[in-house]
């Protein structure tokens, strides 16, 4: 029977209890409702006619069912020596191809990850260069080339047609390592087929598949010259249910990307030994030829960002945070808040001086730079009017930190929209809904603030910075104008509406696709406070959740709050940490990581608060002003800026770790033929076009890496990777 396909789209109704309520169902539900209405309005309509109508409806408007391919090895049986690894999770596909360069060297290309459209996967087929070798130290890839789109349409879970950028097509199917192996049921606990990696070494990956206790494995990496290369092992029987022992082999002189079929030849039968011991279906330990061991895990696509249009680096950063709690080390990013945009007292709370006094000074004392720098777009100055120009100096410090390899978070201590007072002015809290009513003074004031914040965030976006954006902090408390108010019966809905509106306004109106949205609370200690998840606006509006704690140890309220946040199934952060209101500066910061390990082991970052001075006394919360910051920063759990993998800030954790994709490159020659180095003052680099000036700092052209102040005293070496793309480095 021929079925005409008519896909039907679900319509969305109102949001209730933070979730979407379907307004209508799919085709059959629509028909049922239509039929019920006709029965009510036309008593002559018979059950038989309804049944006939239903059959006609199914006949003419069946719903399309997309095909999801089985993950693992694929090939064309007529083209042995060339093949494909397809990673399929839900609707996302990643594909790597193994074939040969015109020189005969084994090479590989990658496509995705990208969402399927129906049963079709389309993504650029990309070449990566300059990454990690089989036994070498970690290094990120240094360039990419887009070879055009590759298209795979799957006819069923084990068959498809691959269309190359040239337009040529190749039928492909699942590869049987042993006869009938791809269709054989796997026993519980068998290591999963697909892509495996070490999350701390993005850019190098391994494809693994086991069929009937026989394993085939390939490693995708780079040779000493930076060229992409692959090695294979097997197929061979496993030593036991959890162990595979073999050796890497290298093939060459086979079929090239757009060439006719050519059989490959074995060019090195023993590149080196390997041993792979599986701890579970998704984790293993790989022993490399030099005896070094690395942990491998089954690659999992990161959680969806709240903004579906988020940039690739933004998605990569969320994925990084989502994987940290699963690691045994390097799992908590260190952070230091540096202050507000402007202040009305001469202290360290302004970002201009705070960055130097709290982060740079700490680095000079310990040799370590914190992973995360935080700033507040708000101010305690009653005359402050937020605008993009007012935030330029604040952004300069944040861009500087991003350029050093660190991460950035911005909070927004909003002014009171009714009184124009500071955030602790509770005027208008009973009329929160007014700030979203067009035509009210509160709305005009609020929208002006949002536009000013958006202008500042756009400046960071345009500099390539991903921002952990944290508005309406400590929302469950009763001390800010946006917080809890038992006398306002609609306060829960009012606050969540404010958050949702801000999220959609920044996303849709201002195109701020560089934001990860951080929902943060204070530990619920009772009184006028409410539960930590009371104002949670819904998973589709939040990327990370966090708790603010000011105490020398974590009490039961803090631990309970942490557990409430964990139940929201988002990465959890310690978004603010300080001591009591007046603190002299003798806290042992090694205690903090001990408290985290003991009571909050899944925390993904912490933010030490800044020092400040008031008429009540001096308060020293910062890392640099207290004891044993070096003990904290050297702890195996703690991540500093130099330990954040480039893949966390770049386009894909699977295959690339450059901060910005090098585009418009028609071809890339070997790295040695392209490499040129230039050592001069930053002023000379700018004049020569190798760098440009951004708010008094020199940034390398192409990579946007921060080189320091744009003056004649700063001398740096820039390495040319490809035309108009320079990175900080040196040449042999």
Q: Which helix (H) or strand (E) holds 318?
A: helix 312-324
How far are the Cα atoms of 505, 550, 613 from residue 581, in angstroms, in the given order? 36, 8, 11
User: Is-catalytic flag, 19?
Assistant: no
Q: How many helices (H) and strands (E) does the chain have?
A: 13, 36
* Residue 516 exposed, middle or buried by CB count within 10 Å (0-12, 13-18, 19+): buried
* Residue 94 exposed, middle or buried by CB count within 10 Å (0-12, 13-18, 19+): buried
Give residue 117's Cα distance to chain centre.
22
Cα 484 to Cα 419: distance, rounded to the nearest angstrom:
18
Q: Which helix (H) or strand (E) holds 29?
A: helix 27-41
Which residue of the set 201, 209, 532, 576 is catalytic?
576
User: Is-catalytic flag, 576?
Assistant: yes
For tokens 């820039």, the residue is 718
* The dihedral formed by the CA atoms of 704, 707, 711 and 712, expressed in degrees to the nearest 10: -130
For tokens 């946007």, the residue is 704
Q: Which helix (H) or strand (E) holds 123?
A: strand 120-129
Cα 325 to Cα 603: distance, rounded to the nearest angstrom:
7
Cα 647 to Cα 138: distance, rounded to the nearest angstrom:
12
Cβ burial 98-129 (10 Å sphere, 16+ → b, else e): bbbbeebbbbbbbbbbeebeebbbbbbbbbbb
Looking from the CA of 620 toward its CB, the CA atoms found within 13 Å total 13
How far are the Cα atoms of 73, 198, 211, 291, 618 from residue 231, in angstroms, in the given order? 15, 17, 20, 17, 61
Which residue of the set 87, 209, 474, 595 is catalytic?
474
Active site residues per annotation = 474, 576
């Amino acid at each position: 029977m021929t079925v005409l396909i008519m896909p039907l789209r679900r319509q969305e109704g109102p949001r209730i209890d933070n979730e979407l309520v379907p307004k209508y169902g799919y085709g059959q539900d629509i028909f049922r409702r239509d039929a019920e209405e006709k029965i009510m309005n036309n008593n002559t309509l018979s059950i038989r006619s309804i049944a006939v109508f239903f059959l006609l409806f199914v006949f003419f408007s069946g719903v399309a069912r997309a095909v999801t391919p089985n993950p693992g090895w694929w090939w064309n049986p007529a083209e042995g020596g060339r093949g494909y690894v397809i990673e399929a999770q839900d609707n996302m596909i990643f594909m790597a191809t193994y074939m040969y360069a015109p020189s005969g060297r084994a090479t590989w290309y990658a496509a995705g990850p990208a969402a399927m459209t129906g049963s079709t996967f389309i993504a650029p087929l990309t070449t990566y260069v300059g990454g990690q070798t089989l036994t070498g130290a970690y290094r990120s890839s240094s360039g990419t080339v887009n070879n055009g789109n590759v298209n795979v349409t799957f006819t069923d879970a084990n068959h498809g047609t691959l269309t190359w950028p040239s337009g040529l097509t190749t039928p492909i199917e699942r590869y049987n390592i042993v006869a009938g192996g791809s269709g054989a049921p796997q026993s519980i606990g068998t290591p999963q087929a697909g892509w495996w990696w070490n999350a701390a070494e993005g850019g190098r990956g391994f494809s693994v598949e086991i069929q009937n206790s026989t394993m085939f494995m390939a490693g995708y990496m780079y040779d000493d010259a930076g060229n992409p290369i692959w090695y294979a092992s097997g197929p061979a029987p496993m030593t036991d249910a959890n162990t595979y022992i073999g050796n890497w082999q290298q093939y060459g002189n086979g079929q090239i990307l757009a060439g006719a079929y050519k059989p490959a030849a074995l060019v090195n039968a023993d590149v080196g030994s390997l041993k792979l011991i599986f701890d579970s279906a998704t984790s293993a330990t790989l022993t490399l030829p030099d005896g070094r061991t690395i942990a491998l895990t089954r690659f999992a696509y990161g959680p969806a960002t709240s903004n579906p249009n988020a940039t690739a680096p933004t998605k990569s950063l969320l994925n990084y945070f989502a994987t940290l709690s699963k690691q045994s080390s390097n799992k908590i990013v260190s952070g230091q808040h540096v202050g507000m945009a402007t202040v009305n007292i001469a202290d360290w709370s302004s970002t201009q001086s705070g960055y130097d006094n709290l982060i740079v000074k700490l680095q000079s004392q310990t040799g370590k730079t914190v992973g995360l720098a935080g700033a507040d777009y708000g101010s305690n100055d009653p005359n402050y009017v937020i605008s993009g120009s007012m935030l330029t100096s604040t952004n300069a410090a944040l861009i500087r930190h991003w350029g050093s390899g660190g991460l950035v978070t911005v909070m927004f201590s909003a002014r009171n929209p009714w009184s124009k007072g500071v955030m602790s002015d509770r005027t208008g809290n009973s009329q929160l809904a007014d700030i979203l009513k067009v035509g009210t003074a509160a709305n005009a004031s609020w929208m002006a603030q949002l536009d000013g914040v958006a202008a500042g965030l756009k400046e960071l976006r345009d500099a390539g910075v991903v921002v952990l954006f944290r508005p309406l902090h400590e929302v469950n408390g009763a001390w800010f104008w946006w917080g809890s108010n038992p006398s306002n019966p609609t306060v829960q809905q009012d606050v969540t509406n404010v958050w949702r509106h801000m999220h959609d306004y920044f996303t849709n109106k201002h195109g701020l696709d560089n934001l990860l949205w951080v929902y943060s609370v204070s530990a619920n200690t009772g009184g006028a406070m409410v539960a930590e998840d009371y104002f949670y606006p819904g998973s589709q509006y939040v990327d990370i959740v966090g708790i603010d704690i000011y105490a020398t140890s974590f009490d039961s309220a803090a631990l309970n709050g942490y557990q409430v946040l964990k139940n929201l199934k988002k990465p959890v952060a310690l978004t603010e940490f300080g001591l009591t209101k007046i603190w002299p500066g003798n806290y042992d910061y090694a205690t903090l990581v001990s408290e985290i390990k003991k009571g909050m082991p899944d925390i993904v970052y912490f933010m030490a608060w800044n020092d400040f001075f008031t008429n009540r006394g001096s308060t020293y919360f910062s890392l640099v002003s207290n004891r044993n910051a070096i003990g904290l920063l050297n702890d195996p759990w703690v991540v500093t800026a130099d330990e954040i993998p480039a893949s966390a800030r770049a386009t894909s954790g699977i295959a690339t770790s450059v901060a910005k994709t090098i585009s418009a490159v028609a071809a890339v020659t070997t790295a040695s033929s392209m490499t040129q180095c230039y050592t001069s003052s930053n002023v000379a680099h700018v004049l020569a076009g190798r760098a440009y000036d951004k708010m008094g700092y020199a940034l390398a052209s192409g990579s946007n890496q921060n080189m320091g102040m744009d003056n004649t005293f700063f001398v740096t070496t820039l390495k040319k990777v490809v035309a108009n793309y320079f990175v900080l480095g040196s040449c042999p």
